[in-house]
Amino acid sequence: MVDVGAASGGVWKSTDGTTTFQPVFDKQPVQSIGAITVDPTQRKIVWVGTGESWTRNSVSIGNGVYRSADGGETWQHMGLSESERITRILIHPADSNTVYVCAPGKLWSDSAERGLFKTSDGGQTWSQVLKGPNLSTGCGALSMDPKDPNVLFASLWDFRRQGWTFRSGGEGPTAKSGSGLFRTADGGATWTEVGLGAKGFGPKPFGRIEVEIAPSNPDIVYAVVESTRSALFRSSDGGTTWEERDRSQSMVWRPFYFSNLVVDPKNAERVFKMNLNLIVSDDGGKSFTGAGGSAHGDWHDLWIDPDNTQTILGGDDAGLWLSMNGGTLWHKNHNLPISQFYHVSVDDQSPYQVYGGLQDNTSWIGDSQYPGGISNSRWEALPGGDGFWVFSDPADPNYVYFESQGGALVRIHRKTLQQRDIQPKSDRAGEKLRFNWNAPLHLSPNEKGTLYIGAQFLFRTRDQGQTWERISPDLTTNDPAKQKQEQSGGITVDNSAAEQHTTIYSISESPVRPSMIWVGTDDGNVQLTVDGGDTWRNTAGAIKDVPKASWVSWVEASPHDADVAFVTLDRHTFGDMEPHAYMTRDAGKSWARIASKAQGVRGYAHVIKQDPVNANVLYLGTELGLFVSIDQGRHWAEFKGDNFPAVAVRDLVIHPRDHDLVVATHGRGIWIIDDLTPVRSLGPDVLGSEVAFVPGRAEIQQIQAFGGWPVGDAMFFGENPSGDIVINYFQKSRHLFGKLKLEVFDAEGKLVDTLPASKRRGMNRVSWAMRGKPPRVPMGATISFAATQGLRHLPGDYTLRMTKNGQVYERKIHIGMDPKATYSLEDRKAQHAAATEVQRLFERMSSLNDRIVGLRDQARSKAAGLPEADRQRKALLALGESADALRKKIVATTEGGAITGEERLREHTDALYAAIVFWEAVQGLTI
């Protein structure tokens, strides 16, 4: 059994040693996981702390602790709702009701629910047993003495992130900080600060401190301490005195992200430290060497098998890894779909491809469908960095635009993989272009080859990035107080572009009027030009009831009306986790709020899109899910589908040809809702009816394609859309009693199929394969494989008829040819006629075979009734044998299960049938 917590993708459980995983936390309202702990005495009791504690700029949020008593099948929320994030949960080894929760607390704002919490009644009540001196200090680390569970070390960590800065410790390297390391010997009743004095960690202030007691010798304790002299410390007397050990760069780098220590369960001198690369010391921390092999890096956690310490599971920014040789080499698990996308786009290929950029995992291009399923091998990685915006060049599909962090932009040739840096640079001395970590790149919806990128200025290229023009002044507040990233980090400076601020964050050129361009900035401006960039107007002041400087996470020009636009404001960087979405109908002169917590929308808002066909339909992505409105934001419904979790939705794109909604989640990969057409038809008339057929996209009979090959069970496969005709209908209530009959009639009114109807409440989809009955074939030793399939009916006009509780509902549909087909409808008719002729051959063969078998059996039966010496008996037996010999010329009859290779008339006919049925372009064939 293996439980895995994803940074923003829920909890996954494997019961087969990581070969396969199932998500077990998807019904819960948050998906960011900070800690998982299995009860040491009762395997089925699992505690989960929500909210990742490695507090990078893109980190999600949690809402407290959960407990499962049945191995993850059901969960109970156990409180600490305001903790936002949890680092570690430890359970008393002899008392399952005693549990400690280490909660750093809120990242973006002050809060009281942070520190170390303890329950003695299984989570019914909690007491805060260790708290910081201020409202920005929480628990950073926790370790329990394996021999005396009343002895614990816990660190306090003072930290805060804002949109433009971060601190671990105080406001600077020497500023006052609430951080420190503490020890209790009475289960948290009293605490003593350790690491002070001459044999301590050196002078305060401290930042993040990680602490770990060696499981095999609790006198040995390790602590990595962030300070102006960051280092690893080792105590050999249970934390009373400490000795400085390694203080290489690996102890300095990004303590807020890389502090975790894991000590070998058997060897107290072997300690792993999570770092950019995984490192390990075999001499108690005096020296370290790399242990990450060829794994991705940015490590966060390890589990070492206590029975065989060569077996290690590890988690880093690329997922889950397994080492069978103590961390020298690593095997990657390809079965956890927990990727964190920032953005997504699509191209116009058929089937289209999906393009998306991933947190710390570059950008990828993948198939939206592929015969046999979309395996990981159907995804192609582009080179380098964190991935953000990535587009196929609409002017030349041989190229893609690929953007990594800080606006780094290249144009890559898809086949040769040559790339050219096309990021605009400043040509003015001393001027710094401020590109956001997630700088916006925007393709013109009106002009191929035109794209925009935003720094503090808006840049436009009309020649695919060869040259750029600056088409705006600084559109931000240009607030110098928010431009001190070189001092960001608190004790340890950390200026990776993640805190770059006063930048343009969102761009949208009106699809209706190309001269209108909207720009949203991370410091609260919503700028509009109506003249292609000559003049600009900040419309943010017209957004009422929201504080200034709110992060404009999305701006979207309506595809229907030039005066209509939408913005989402993301205020989570100020501690406000509620959704804010606004709509203007007068080009920004006024804005009306259209999404709020009161409307049932949860989570801070990332993206809003208006349906390109039905202007009333809106799609909203927030940190906690996907929401849809069919009345321009007066009402919203959370879109759960079958199984969509409350994961962050960072970007949405509607495929203009196929009408699919492609969803970029930050934690659960790419999802596709096939065909939004039925959603567009939802209104009071449909929702008020008992049953209603609703239209789907234009139906085509897709070409038959074959692919895929076994790659084992430890592989994620994306599901394909239905290759059949999809029938959409709405039911007001679940159908429970009596037959729900769904019939298909051809243009002549002939019944061609009766389908198993879907019974769900709400929207239903049923796939119709368009196959008729398979031919009757003479029975042989084995099955006649191709003949198990019927012919596909021809494209054309059909009528759907549903009968429910005596009521009849009908809808006519037209099924066209697949544009990818290399044959005409006339070809199809010829193929259909040929296949029908083969079916007749099968029928004649079957009838003949029936008669022969009948004759054989009759002869044998009569012979059996005659005396052995009877002459007629011999003749009858001979007749039976002759008949059977004839049968054996028609069908293969050798039984036993071996590969007989026996080919008779039936087998040849089956091969002929297969050749015709599975290639529908047969021409000029006569039989």
Contacting other proteins within 591-630 (CB under 8 A): 628, 630
If one asks whether residue 839 binds other proteins (CB under 8 A), the answer comes out as no
Instruction: Give residues 164-183 in contact with other proteins (rule: CB under 8 A).
Output: none
Residue among 718, 830, 876, 909 that touches other proteins (CB under 8 A): 718
Burial of 52 (0-12, 13-18, 19+ CB in 10 A): buried
Nearer to other proteins, 45 or 274 (CB): 45
Q: Give me 685's structure tokens.
A: 């008339």
H or E element in which residue 532 lies: none
Q: Which of residues 69-128 bind other proteins (CB under 8 A)?
A: 70, 73-74
Question: 762 to 781, contacts with other proteins by CB under 8 A?
Answer: 762-767, 769-771, 773-774, 776-777, 779, 781
Measuring CA to CA, which residue among 728, 676, 681, 726 is closest to residue 700? 726
Closer Cβ to other proteins, 127 or 754, answer by number: 754
Compute the distance between CA of residue 189 and CA of residue 195 in angstroms, rounded to an integer.
Answer: 20
Quote the tokens at residue 364. 């990828």
Could you say which of 643, 807, 822, 926 contacts other proteins (CB under 8 A)?
Answer: 643
473: contact with other proteins by CB under 8 A: no
Please say which residue, 24 or 821, places its beta carbon nearer to other proteins.
24
Closest separation in Å from C-beta 913 to other proteins: 13
Using the contact rule CB under 8 A, the part of the chain among 554-562, 591-599, 715-723, 864-872 near other proteins is 715-723
Determine if 825 is a binding residue for other proteins (CB under 8 A). no
> Is residue 788 involved in binding other proteins (CB under 8 A)?
yes
Judged by beta carbon, residue 642 or residue 826, the one nearer other proteins is: 642
Which string of x and - marks every residue 861-900 that binds other proteins (by CB under 8 A)? --------------------------------xxxxxx-x
Measured CA to CA, the distance from residue 76 to residue 704 in angstroms comes to 47
Please report, as residue ranges, which positions from 23 to 62 form the binding site for other proteins (by CB under 8 A): 27
Contact region for other proteins (CB under 8 A) — 215-223, 253-261, 537-545, 713-721?
Answer: 713-721
Tokens representing 825 are 């409808």
Q: Residue 613, exposed/middle/buried by CB under 10 A (0-12, 13-18, 19+)?
A: middle
Smallest distance from other proteins to CB 366, Å: 6
Question: Considering the complex, what minimum distance in angstroms separates the CB of residue 125 from other proteins?
Answer: 22
Kindly state whether residue 782 participates in binding other proteins, applying the rule CB under 8 A: yes
In the complex, what is the shortest distance from the CB of residue 1 to other proteins, in angstroms, rounded to a whole number?
Answer: 10
Query: Closest Cα partner for 77 from 143, 123, 45?
Result: 123
- Confirm or reject binding of residue 724 to other proteins (CB under 8 A): yes
* Pick 569 or 661: Cβ nearer other proteins: 661
The side-by-side arrangement of strands in the sheet containing 725-731 is 691-693, 725-731, 762-768
Does 585 bind other proteins (CB under 8 A)? Our answer is: no
Judged by CB under 8 A, does residue 548 bind other proteins? no
CA 437 to the chain's CA centroid:
21
Judged by CB under 8 A, the chain residues 519 through 538 that form the site for other proteins are none
Closer to other proteins by Cβ: residue 112 or 808 = 808
Minimum separation from the CB atom of position 758 to other proteins (A): 6
Instruction: In angstroms, give the least distance from the CB of 927 to other proteins.
Output: 21
Q: Which CB, 580 or 668, lies closer to other proteins?
A: 668
Q: Which residues contact 797 (CB under 8 A, 6 or more apart)?
A: 746, 747, 812, 813, 814, 815
625: left (phi over 0), alpha (psi -120 to 50) or beta: left
Q: Is the peptide bond before 440 cis (omega within 30 degrees of 0)?
A: no
Which residue, 368 or 477, is less far from other proteins as judged by CB?
368
CB of 724 to other proteins, least distance (A): 8
Structure tokens given for 710? 């076994």
Which token pair is 400?
A: 């893609």
Residues sharing a CB contact under 8 Å with residue 559, sequence separation 6 or more, in sequence order? 445, 511, 512, 610, 612
Of the pair 504, 646, the CB lying nearest other proteins is at 646
Q: Which stretch binds other proteins (CB under 8 A): 423-431, 463-471, 476-484, 667-675?
A: 667-675
Least separation, in Å, of the C-beta of 760 and other proteins?
Answer: 4
CB of 756 to other proteins, least distance (A): 4
Residue 455 or 672 having the CB closest to other proteins: 672
**Binding of residue 840 to other proteins (CB under 8 A):** no
Single out the residue of 706, 709, 712, 737 in contact with other proteins (rule: CB under 8 A). 737
Distances (CA, A) of 445 to 299, 513, 518, 614: 40, 10, 13, 18
Candidates 846, 851, 880, 718; CA nearest to 364 is 718
> What distance in Å separates the CA atoms of residue 796 and residue 794, rounded to the nearest whole number?
6
Among 337, 394, 407, 454, binds other proteins (CB under 8 A): 337
Tokens encoding 470: 């600056």
Q: Where are the beta strands (DSSP E) in 769-840?
A: 796-804, 807-817
Told to check if 641 binds other proteins by CB under 8 A, we report yes
Rounded Cα gap, residues 601 and 606, in angstroms: 12
Q: Which of residues 676-705 bind other proteins (CB under 8 A)?
A: 676, 678-679, 682, 687
The smaller minimum CB distance to other proteins, of residues 174 and 758, is found at 758
CB of 745 to other proteins, least distance (A): 17
Residue placing its CB nearer to other proteins in the complex, 209 or 664:
664
Cβ burial 814-831 (10 Å sphere, 16+ → b, else e): ebebeeebebeeebbebb
Minimum distance, C-beta of residue 300 to other proteins, in the bound complex (Å): 24
Q: Which is nearer to other proteins, 147 or 640 (CB)?
A: 640
Binders in 203-242 for other proteins, by CB under 8 A: none
Q: Which of 362, 365, 398 is nearest to 379 (CA)?
A: 365
Does residue number 722 form part of the binding site for other proteins (CB under 8 A)? yes
Nearest to 347 by CA among 382, 311, 393: 393
Compute the distance between CA of residue 433 and CA of residue 455 in angstroms, rounded to an integer. 6
Residue 313 CB, shortest distance to other proteins, in Å, is 19
DSSP letter at 871 equals H
Smallest distance, Å, CB 908 to other proteins?
16
Identity of the amino acid at 242: W
In angstroms, the Cα distances linking 268 to 188, 642, 910 are: 25, 48, 69
Q: Interface with other proteins includes 759 (CB under 8 A)?
A: yes
Q: Which of 269, 474, 576, 638 forms a contact with other proteins (CB under 8 A)?
A: 638
Residue from 661, 601, 662, 659 nearest 627 by CA: 601
Q: Any alpha helices (H) in 372-467, and if so which ranges?
A: none
Tell which one of 267, 758, 858, 882 touches other proteins (CB under 8 A): 758
Q: Of the ranges 68-76, 287-295, 493-501, 705-713, which one interacts with other proteins (CB under 8 A)? A: 68-76
Task: Provide, rounded to whole angstroms, the least separation between the CB of residue 925 and other proteins.
Answer: 23
Strands 387-392 and 379-381: unpaired
The two tokens of residue 10 are 């829920």
Residue with smaller CB distance to other proteins, 544 or 732: 732
Q: Which of residues 348-377 bind other proteins (CB under 8 A)?
A: 354, 366-368, 374
- Which of 152, 261, 507, 663 lies at the binding interface for other proteins (CB under 8 A)? 663
- β-pairing, 441-443 vs 419-421, is unpaired
Q: Is 810 in the site for other proteins (CB under 8 A)?
A: no
Torsion of CA 681, 687, 688, 690, to 10 degrees: 100
